[in-house]
Amino acid sequence: MEEYKGRTELLRNGLSDGNLDLRITAVSTSDSGSYICAVEDEDDYADAVVELEVSDPFSQIIHPRAVALVAVVTLVVVSSVVIIVFLYRKKGELRAEREMVYKFALFSVPKPRKFGIFTYEEK
């Protein structure tokens, strides 16, 4: 059959004991099903049916609740990082703005000067 080309091998090393193994590589869930082994010689005919069930091992390990929990935790962590970065930048902007206002206030306030008993104020 076309879907088994290059993926099957008969292991004949046990043939003298009456065993003939079929090895299927790159197994997928679509390989599940009934396999019939038929042997015929001049005098006799025999067959055997073997059921093969292929399951995805990861589907049994990873539960949907675990996937949902990981997704929620990841979303919370990413959201937290974004909010922290935003607040940190905003804090830096506010600090820079306060420093500019403070410097502006220092340089824009007229400084009174005294000349003897007279006070002179720059405008």
Shared domain for 67 and 88, answered yes or no, is yes
Shared domain for 79 and 103, answered yes or no, is yes
Domain-located, residue 52: yes
Listed in sequence order, the residues at least 6 apart from 7 whose beta carbon sits closer than 8 Å to its beta carbon are 24, 25, 26
Per-residue pLDDT of the chain (123 residues; tens, 9 = 90+): 888 889 999 888 888 887 888 888 888 888 899 988 888 888 888 888 888 888 776 655 666 787 788 889 999 999 999 999 998 888 888 787 777 666 665 555 556 666 666 555 555
Cβ atoms of 112 and 119 within 8 Å: the answer is yes
* 72: containing domain: 62-115
Spell 42-80 as b/e; 16+ CB within 10 A means b: eeeeeeeeeeeeeeeeeeeeeeeeeeeeeeeeeeeeeee
Last residue of a domain, one of 56, 77, 101: 56
Predicted structure pTM score = 0.40
